[in-house]
Amino acid sequence: MILEVKNGYYGYTTDNLLQDISFTLGEKEIMTILGQNGIGKTTILKCVTGILKWRQGQTLINGQSMGSSREAQKQIPIGYVPQAHGLSFPYTVRELVIMGRARHIGLFSVPSKKDKIIVDQAIDEVGITSIRDKSCTQLSGGQLQLVFIARALASEPKVLVLDEPESHLDFRNQFIIINLIMRLVRERGLSCIMNTHYPEHALRMSHTTLLLGQNSYLFGRTKEIITEKRVEEYFGIKAKILPVPYKGEEIKAFVVLDNI
Ligand SMILES: Nc1ncnc2c1ncn2[C@@H]1O[C@H](COP(=O)(O)OP(=O)(O)OP(=O)(O)O)[C@@H](O)[C@H]1O
């Protein structure tokens, strides 16, 4: 196990938004977090990455508390990909990705040759070399999402944390992002935590799922968590989940029947 959250509580007011959240993330595992708008998915990611501090409970990295051990953070660096909104400052793609090297570059230093190689590798890995000198203000939503993923990769993370990376993208681009994340886990050996609004994406790509409800949550193997009954209970949606054989594997098709 590479990362663990133990009994996490968080609230923006005196009330707790998140209560007693616990889960584990294994090596080369993808975990998805599902739940309705405003339920607390982004807040969980911010607490996991240390942007927000758990009110109670903790994030453990390799068994060590992340808050108290800088060594643990160095051993298992976390790359964060926030929800991609448009940028108002016209950085080029390469300039934005170089920002991912911030923790490796001294305060008054300039990027080294090694930094630049790692940045170009990250740009290449997500397939945006042809636009690397373009201004980020001129990119499509899908391209900008790839730039944010490249920026996180440039930090050489062991764990990638992504906030709804496929939201606001068209059908094909959603799938390109999903495939990219699955490839990064397979080939780079990363582990990944990802928020999504799509149960079918969770079924397709994740090993484990945290299903967040108003005052409760479920965590476990994705195929055991995302069932027709749970989708009805947590989303108010009647759906069928059907097995579809493809390339020697079984993909789960998700068919929405009705809302209730
Ligand atoms: N900085 C903040 N200060 C006060 N309340 C906040 C803050 N950020 C988020 N909230 C509130 O906390 C709740 C959870 O927000 P969060 O963004 O974690 O939800 P989410 O599940 O990620 O939503 P979505 O699916 O719409 O992105 C919401 O009611 C939101 O309004």
Q: What is the pLDDT of residue 104?
A: 73
pLDDT > 70 in the chain, percent: 96
222 by Cβ neighbours in 10 Å (0-12 / 13-18 / 19+) ranks as buried
Closest ligand 1 atom, CA of 43?
A: 18
Asked whether residue 94 is assigned to any structural domain, the reply reads yes
Q: Side-chain half-sphere of 218: how many Cα atoms within 13 Å?
A: 17
Domain that holds residue 183: 3-231
Q: What is the mean pLDDT of residues 71-98?
A: 84
Q: Which residues pair with 217 in a beta bridge?
A: 212
> Is the CB of 127 within 6 Å of ligand 1?
no
Asked whether residue 246 is assigned to any structural domain, the reply reads no
pLDDT at 113 over 90: no
pLDDT at 6 over 90: yes
Asked whether residue 259 is assigned to any structural domain, the reply reads no
Q: What is the mean pLDDT of the chain?
A: 91
Q: What is the pLDDT of residue 170?
A: 86
Asked whether residue 238 is assigned to any structural domain, the reply reads no
Q: Identify which has the larger pLDDT, 107 or 95.
A: 95
Q: What is the pLDDT of residue 71?
A: 67
> Which of 75-84, 98-107, 142-151, 177-186 is predicted least confidently?
98-107
> Is the CB of 214 within 6 Å of ligand 1?
no
- As for the ipTM of the complex, it is 0.98
The residue to which tokens 């959603």 are assigned? 174
pLDDT in tens, 32-52: 999 999 999 999 999 999 999
Ligand 1 centre distance from Cα of residue 39 (Å) = 7
> Is the CB of 56 within 6 Å of ligand 1?
no
> Is the CB of 39 within 6 Å of ligand 1?
yes
CATH number, position 25? 3.40.50.300
Count of structural domains within the chain: 1
> Is the CB of 132 within 6 Å of ligand 1?
no
Nearest CA among 200, 205, 256, 201 for reference residue 232: 256
Closest ligand 1 atom, CA of 164?
A: 27
Asked whether residue 239 is assigned to any structural domain, the reply reads no
pLDDT confidence of 169, banded at 50, 70, 90?
confident
Query: What residue's CA is closest to ligand 1, atom 17?
Result: 42
Ligand 1 centre distance from Cα of residue 40 (Å) = 6
> Is the CB of 38 within 6 Å of ligand 1?
yes
Pocket test for ligand 1, best of 18, 33, 39 (most atoms within 8 A of CB): 39
pLDDT confidence of 55, banded at 50, 70, 90?
very high
Closest ligand 1 atom, CA of 46?
A: 18
pLDDT in tens, 101-110: 877 776 667 7
pLDDT at 4 over 90: yes
Ligand 1 centre distance from Cα of residue 92 (Å) = 30
Q: What is the mean pLDDT of residues 179-207?
A: 95
Q: What is the mean pLDDT of residues 9-26?
A: 96
Residue 191 in contact with residue 27, Cβ under 8 Å? Answer: yes
Specify the amino acid at residue 101: R
